[in-house]
Amino acid sequence: MNKQEIVYLPVSKLKPYKNNPRKISAQAVDAVCQAIHDVGFRRPLDVRPDMTLINGHTRLKAAKKLGLKEVPCIICTDLDDERIRKWRLEDNKTGEYSSWDADKLKAEIADLDFGNADFFPFDFETDTEKKKRWEESKALCDLKDRTALHKAGDLYYQSLMKVGKTGQPLAEIKNKGNTWMFADMALEFIRATLGENLSAGDWCIVTTPRRRHSNGFHFATAICQIMADALQIPFYKDAVTCINHNRVSPIFELKINPQQKNVILYDDILTTGCTLKATRDLLIEAGYTVVNLISVDNH
């Protein structure tokens, strides 16, 4: 194995790879900035002899944001173009295959102070634990119309139903048999508030991203498709995606830019509001007007 020499190079001379397929979120850059602030620039950038980056685009953006003049680098002279392109993809992809051990993470983070950083939304529940909590908390919904407007921080959202002491467990509500009923309630509200005839040129529907599974039946997607067909407006399936699909610290990406500037953002059940808020923020940042619509409020 060849020994790698670390050299310090001026940030101004480093060039991002123009066809880098990895999109970099502001959240990721802020997280790296915090890490550099805490321990310094500990991971060298991999660069080609012409100063084009191989790996480390997020670290370079963080360095620029922090105003660093030079950063540690490894100049790779022993790799051809094909090996570099494969390595770039492998390096970015491998992190998506790992998840967190909730118990160990909770113990590890218990006494740590991240200052004012709000880009570590650690969620210590596994899917099994969340389902168990729903069942143990007796969170039920009777599927009756209980329309209400809510405010959670800077997030306003309209809900159509709410949890209570009677009805079906939330874990059992999201099935194919309930899609038409959920869609009918949402359509009644949309027509009563936004008008009977929405213009396909002005409005569209988007749903929050799948957090774990990218394939198979998706309750909210099925509801959105019914609503879009009934209203004759576009539904942009998977417009916002979850890059890593982890329950802990997910990173969202606006993958499809709707042509319409008014968006009905729909989610079936809202518990924490984090996913809805992150999706809304991406859409607003891209210049869209967003109406947040929830079927069941479990906040």
pLDDT in tens, 129-142: 655 655 555 678 99
Helices (H), the chain: 26-39, 57-66, 81-93, 102-109, 127-136, 170-173, 179-194, 219-231, 274-285
Q: What are phi and psi of 89, to 5 degrees?
A: -70, -40
pLDDT of residue 22: 83
The pTM (predicted TM-score) of the whole model is: 0.58
The total number of residues written for the chain in this structure = 299
Q: Which residues pair with 151 in a beta bridge?
A: 156
Q: Which residues pair with 266 in a beta bridge?
A: 207, 293
pLDDT of residue 245: 53
Confidence of residue 297 (pLDDT cuts 50, 70, 90): very high
Give the neighbor-by-neighbor strand order of the sheet with 148-152. 148-152, 155-162, 289-297, 262-270, 203-207
Q: Does 31 have pLDDT greater than 80?
A: yes
pLDDT, mean of residues 167-175: 85
Q: Check residue 167 and give left, alpha or beta (phi > 0: left; psi -120 to 50: alpha).
A: left
pLDDT, mean of residues 179-199: 90
pLDDT, mean of residues 117-138: 56
Q: Which residues of 263-287 are buried (b: 16+ CB within 10 A; e: fewer)?
A: bbbbbbbbbebebbbbbbbbbeeee
